[in-house]
Amino acid sequence: MTTKLIIGLGNPGDRYKNTRHNAGFIALDRIAEWLPEKYDEWSSDWQLSKRSTYEYREFRKNDRRIILVRPLTYMNLSGKAAAQAKHDFSVTSNEDVLLVCDELDLLIGKAKVTKEKYSKTHNGVTSVLSTIGKGCTFLRLGIEAPTQRKIPGDAFVLMMLTQDEVIQLKKSIESKLSDVQDFILA
């Protein structure tokens, strides 16, 4: 059976729920809604991992197992949860890992799927790559809003998204669901 990990980066708790830095969690929620349409043979509800470093939800169909992972370690320590999930689900290759994260270098409403191209200043991405290594695929979700950005990036990413920005972000996620499907089938 082929196992694919889709790890959405963000910060746990209501305080961070609709912040720019939680774009990965927002995307993971949409992917969790979409997957049963494609992988409806068996699925689980969100569950807490054995060591409480992440929550996960599992989907299966035929020879495919897709695990959605939501780290509970806060952004800067996401690598700990990613490494634990890879171990727990016996994922040996980073080719089977899709990392979903916010991207300050992309405008809100834009999204890109890339291999080996990511923000070098994103502490969550840095944490994951320093723990599991390179070779992941990235779903990078734009969060930049130039007209609002008059503060440093580390403070900006913790700002709440406006209603209009949430709509734009969700549209960008929708536009990449076919890329998520391609990753699952690869």
Q: Could you tell me the domains of the chain?
A: 2-185 (3.40.50.1470)
Global pTM value: 0.95
Active site residue 21: yes
Look at the alpha carbons of 170, 174, 133, 104 in this order and tell me if their dihedral is positive or negative. Answer: negative
Q: What is the pLDDT of residue 37?
A: 83
Q: Read off the pLDDT of residues 100-119 as tens digits, 9 standing for 90 and up.
A: 999 998 999 999 999 977 77
Q: What angle do CA 110, 35, 11 make, to 5 degrees?
A: 55
Q: Read off the pLDDT of residues 55-72 as tens digits, 9 standing for 90 and up.
A: 999 998 888 999 999 999
Q: What is the pLDDT of residue 121?
A: 80
Structure tokens belonging to residue 67: 């695990």
- Residue 48 CB burial class (10 angstroms; 0-12, 13-18, ≥19): exposed
Which listed residue (4, 20, 21, 65) is catalytic? 21
CA-wise closest residue to 75 among 132, 121, 115, 127:
127
CA-wise closest residue to 62 among 89, 88, 42, 35:
42
Below-50 pLDDT ranges, the chain: none
